[in-house]
Amino acid sequence: MAADLYKQAGVDIDAGNEAAKRYAKIGKMAGRPEVIGGIGGFSGGFRLDVTKYPEPLLVSGTDGVGTKIKVAFATNRHDTIGIDCVAMCVNDILTSGAEPLFFLDYLAVNTLDVDVAEAVVSGVAKGCQEAGCALIGGETAEMGDVYKRGDYDLAGTAVGVVNASAAINGSAMTKGDVIIGLASNGVHSNGYSLVRKLLLDAGVGYGDELPGFRGTVGDELLTPTAIYVKPVHQLLENGVNIRGMAHITGGGLVDNLPRTIPDGLSARLRVGSWHVRPVFEWLQKQAGMSFTEAARVWNMGVGYVVVVPREEADAALAILAKAGQTATVIGEIVPGDGTVLWEGAKD
């Protein structure tokens, strides 16, 4: 009786219980030996290895996937958006040099479709696997009077650790350091409000194909955000002196790179020194933007930046290549006021 009344009010207890059972199985895909218990309890436990981290500094980050989620709705494809959610969080905490330990997700829905929820959370687990962290728990909330039918929202939180003396904050940067750009997978998870508007204005649908796009427009736009944890930790484990890092998200290179640059310095970037995917060329042209304007909205082919001493740049590139990560030198640190300076940009 109570369950029926609650269902009439918009919350299906039985669907929630079924989803929880599926989540518990999914969670086993992305585990770590330090996890105490598992998905299904009221909280998750994690035993920190203090032999590996004798001076532990916990680092956390929370994010969502923005209006990229609208592309998932429109194409009825929900198995990759969870990877984006994990990527947005773990890449952020990675900039300190932290190792991601565990992740928690929050899924809010209009009406719980167990199959859709399972697809979304399976994507979260895949992202955690790629990042090497555990999916330790989460929450699913059915809120029919907040979201439209068929809609949901997804957010997550990652927690990681780094030894305090090894934390990276950009303060060690100096004139002449080299900026290495790690290639993006595409648009990642930023700028989709404008992307969707440009598609609408151009009369382009998600099932259409455009020159240079990988498959359909929907295929291109749902390509998951790259997770940079493993290649960057290869640099750290091989003793590369990383002096600063930036995750290139909303605001692009223009706004994100300066967040890690100390006073008195700037980043000089060479346009043309890295590969720009056709999707960015199409978006830039459709928007009527210069390259530097577009680089404040989208990542334009560089999803993550690592700053190293010039004498270590070749070694860093070799390590990244061995790890399967496409990367190239895109600029250097120069005297300045903390802004990004462009070389070779045509406005």
Range 178-343: architecture per CATH: Alpha-Beta Complex (3.90)
* Distance from the first to the final alpha carbon of the chain: 67
Domain coordinates in residue numbering, the chain: 2-166, 178-343
State mean pLDDT over 167-176: 96
Binned at pLDDT 50, 70 and 90, residue 90 comes out as very high
Q: What local confidence, expressed as pLDDT, does residue 144 receive?
A: 85
Q: What are phi and psi for residue 256, nearest 5 degrees?
A: -85, -40
Q: What local confidence, expressed as pLDDT, does residue 37 receive?
A: 75
- CA–CA dist 188, 299 (Å, integer): 8
Which of 30-34, 118-122, 187-191, 259-263 has the weakest average pLDDT?
30-34
Q: What local confidence, expressed as pLDDT, does residue 14 receive?
A: 64
Cβ–Cβ under 8 Å, residues 181 and 274: yes
State mean pLDDT over 99-123: 94
Beta-carbon contacts of residue 187 (< 8 Å; ≥ 6 apart): 68, 195, 220, 221, 223, 279, 280, 283, 298, 299
Range 2-166: architecture per CATH: 2-Layer Sandwich (3.30)
Cα angle 317, 318, 320 (rounded to 5 degrees) comes to 65
- CA–CA dist 30, 136 (Å, integer): 8
pLDDT in tens, 21-68: 777 777 777 788 888 877 767 788 889 999 999 999 999 999 999 999
State mean pLDDT over 270-282: 96
Rg (CA), the chain: 21
Indicate the average pLDDT of the chain.
92
Q: What are phi and psi for residue 101, nearest 5 degrees?
A: -105, -50
Q: What local confidence, expressed as pLDDT, does residue 246 receive?
A: 98
Q: What local confidence, expressed as pLDDT, does residue 169 receive?
A: 95
Q: What local confidence, expressed as pLDDT, does residue 347 receive?
A: 58
pTM of the model: 0.94
